[in-house]
Copies of this chain bind each other. A is one copy, B any other.
Amino acid sequence: MSRIVKVAAAQLGPIQRADSRASVIGRLLALMREAKSMGADVVVYPELALSAFFTKWYIPDDAALEAEFFEREMPGPDTRVLFEEAARLGIGFHLGYAEVTVEAGVKRRFNTAILVDATGQIVGKYRKIHLPGHPDYRPEYPIQDLEKMYFEIGDLGFPVFDVFGGVMGMCICNDRRWPETYRVLGLQGVEMIFCGYNTPIHNPMAASEDHLQNFQNLLPMQAGAYQNASWVVGVAKCGVEDGWEMIGQSSIISPSGEIVAMCSTLEDEIAFARCDLDRTAVYKHAVFDFAAHRRPEHYGLITSRKGAISPFPRTDRPTERTVPAHHDEE
């Protein structure tokens, strides 16, 4: 058997802060039409695909932050054309954006992604759970990582959706580094995971590791695909954005863990693959037949404990969290 989903991973090159919203929407439409011309069933855009990756800046004025970077409705005045064009072309899409909403009289902000079917209807929504970085402005850092300041932790869990002929899930950027993300989706029988990302090469919290950003982008996505017998579609916004370089390597990864398509530029570019959802079956039924092989009775710490606690604390070990307190937020 085979159940083919034709996927266009629509990598975006940089969006400068000065770029107009109209120019961004124009690029998204061009990628959508190119994807359709390739026969794609779904075009996958990155995280926060409508603007510069603004979490690198400290913007203390909430009203200004939201006016410049957040969406109050989806579709909204700027984005409605994406839905209309998708319906006209008969192609689905995945889009990441900054969401501001009022729920029960309380304003809330999330790093959000949606799935839209080939009729232009929103059929799935996810709000990012793993927010990286630090919750406080750090003037000593040349580039900030303020997702914990600008967003709440997602409150929708890791849901799956019945669309494009399979069981589809989503995660966003830093979520892809955590095996729990893929496993919670895997336990719901996920067959394809969409994941947009913005990943600056320079991380002031671990600057010694900057040269490994590309490697450490692909590694957890490949492992997550393999260990959960799912396709993974990872899509970057990349290139030099207002002076800060971000990685590319947007990839489509098979349930074997193999990369079957990957972008080779740091610009707007499509990586395309015919993804057979039935390719997941051999893994779901053999080595990763969870019902036969998993041992949840031995996994208790994964849900009962948040931080790492060594039973052998020693002050002479830097791994024992003797670092300055500002590394220990929450």
Q: Please give the residue numbers on chain A whose beta carbons come within 8 Å of chain B beta carbons, in ascending order.
A: 1, 3, 129-132, 153-154, 157-158, 160, 162, 166-167, 174, 177-180, 182-184, 186-189, 191, 203, 205-206, 208-209, 212, 215-216, 219-220, 222-224, 226-227, 229, 256-258, 277-278, 280-296, 298-312, 317-321, 323, 327-330
Q: Which B residues are in CB contact (< 8 Å) with A256?
A: 209, 212, 215-216
**In the complex, A226 Cα to B220 Cα: how many Å?**
8
Shortest 3 CB-CB contacts between residues of A and residues of B: A291-B307, A189-B310, A223-B223
Give the distance to chain B from A109, nearest Cβ to Cβ, in Å. Answer: 17
With A277-B319, A287-B203, A290-B308 as contacts: A227 and B177 at CB distance below 8 Å: yes
Q: List 24 A-B contacts (CB under 8 A).
A: A130-B295, A158-B298, A179-B180, A179-B182, A180-B295, A180-B302, A183-B299, A187-B308, A189-B309, A203-B287, A212-B258, A215-B257, A216-B256, A219-B257, A277-B319, A278-B317, A281-B318, A281-B323, A284-B319, A285-B321, A291-B321, A292-B327, A292-B328, A294-B306
Q: In the bound complex, do residue A286 and residue B130 qualify as a contact, i.e. CB atoms below 8 Å apart? A: no
**In the complex, A174 Cα to B220 Cα: how many Å?**
18
Q: Which B residues are in CB contact (< 8 Å) with A187?
A: 301-302, 305, 307-309
Q: In the bound complex, do residue A295 and residue B129 qualify as a contact, i.e. CB atoms below 8 Å apart? A: yes
Give the distance to chain B from A83, nearest Cβ to Cβ, in Å. Answer: 24
**In the complex, A206 Cα to B226 Cα: how many Å?**
14
Give the distance to chain B from A206, nearest Cβ to Cβ, in Å. Answer: 4
With A180-B294, A295-B130 as contacts: A188 and B302 at CB distance below 8 Å: no
Give the distance to chain B from A313, nearest Cβ to Cβ, in Å. Answer: 9
Q: Which B residues are in CB contact (< 8 Å) with A186?
A: 308
- Highest count of chain B CB atoms <10 Å: which of A182, A205, A310: A310
Q: In the bound complex, do residue B319 and residue A287 qualify as a contact, i.e. CB atoms below 8 Å apart? A: no
The closest CB in chain B to the CB of A153 belongs to B295
**In the complex, A309 Cα to B158 Cα: how many Å?**
14
Q: In the bound complex, do residue A215 and residue B258 qualify as a contact, i.e. CB atoms below 8 Å apart? A: yes
With A223-B223, A291-B307 as contacts: A285 and B215 at CB distance below 8 Å: no
